[in-house]
Structure 1
Amino acid sequence: MSKKRGLSLEDKREQILKIFYESQDFFLLRELEKLGPKKGVISQSVKDVVQSLVDDDLVLKDKIGISVYFWSLPSCAGNQLRNVHRKLESDLEIGTKRLPELMDRRDGLKKGREESDERGQALDELKAIEVKYNELKDELGRYADNDPAALEAMSNAIEVAHAASNRWTDNIFTVRQWCSNNFPEAKEQLEHMYREVGIADDFDYLEPSVLLPPNIVGD
């Protein structure tokens, strides 16, 4: 036995509208959430369904004091449909008036673009130029790493990183010295802790050549 399918969004909207049309009354959201299941709309989805109806001007809402009330009358839907109909008619009229103008522009753009051997040759040449341009563009991209401006920017960035690295190294040496002076009896424990956090015995300041790529390092 197949499971009963749930209502689609349009079905839920229709059922919620029935609540308004049948009662022609005002409702709080919590009241609609209680009435929704009676129409097959679970309470958790009532809020979203009502909001979609408000967005389409099929349900009106207003705040009175601290409460928000919702209402809708059959005339609301009628007015909405009439508004949509008027807009569609207006769009159709505007489109009908613009059609001859667009057709004239299309015919004007066709002039000088008639199919011919000369035009075909020109298009082939254009295509060949585009292919060559893309090849040169790709080749230029491969040499981007050797661009003097890019190398200079990289060199400047490396200098900043080098200075920052050595500042932190200096700070680490200062902290190690302070610990040695204040906790001489814990020397072995401190050395073990340094190794645990990656400060090896050969820990030292970085030389500039360590950071520079081979094509930047001076002789």
Structure 2
Amino acid sequence: MSKKRGLSLEEKRSRMMEIFFEAKDVFQLKDIEKIAPKSKGITPMSVKDVLHSLVDDNMVDSERVGTSSYYWAFPSKAMHARKYRLEELTKQHSETKKRKSTLQQAVEKAKAGRQDTTERTTLLKELQALREEQGQLQTELERHKECDPEVIEEMKKSNISAKEAVSRWTDNVFSIKSWAKRKFAFDENRINKAFGIPEDFDYMD
């Protein structure tokens, strides 16, 4: 009997993003370490590395408050990231098609009434490389089809829930600041500096 294949890194990353999108909440590392193995089948030893890889790729946001680090990723940000990536791929695809057309014209011109030359051979090799690049870009475009209008509209709806989650955490921050003022007689600037809270921190419009 063959062994069960483990999850690839991309599968782990995708499943971990599902945790954030489904919960639409903010987590600490210890929360993710409890949820990921149980609900998504991600091995406990790899949770931290997978999470940090998502942070490094700007797919998950991270903020340190005091001695604790918090992580979150809302669908709206993922939508904009995919939309930007799709636009970049579309642009590259268009540029590649133009280069391919130019090279094809040059190759046809080189064929007319002459034997194979070093220049023609070089152009043919570059043309082949561009065809392969075009195929890769086409594959990338296919993978980003989820950025169609219907999916984007659905993500816009999920922004409402994401905004509510942000508002809850904003409430929590103001509550903690209020408690610290009463308990320790700290002024607001000192609290903001201690916890890394921006001076213009406020509710989202």
- Name the TM-score, length of structure 2 as normaliser: 0.46
**Whose RCO is larger (CA < 8 A, sep 6+)?**
2
**TM-score normalised by the chain length of structure 1:** 0.44
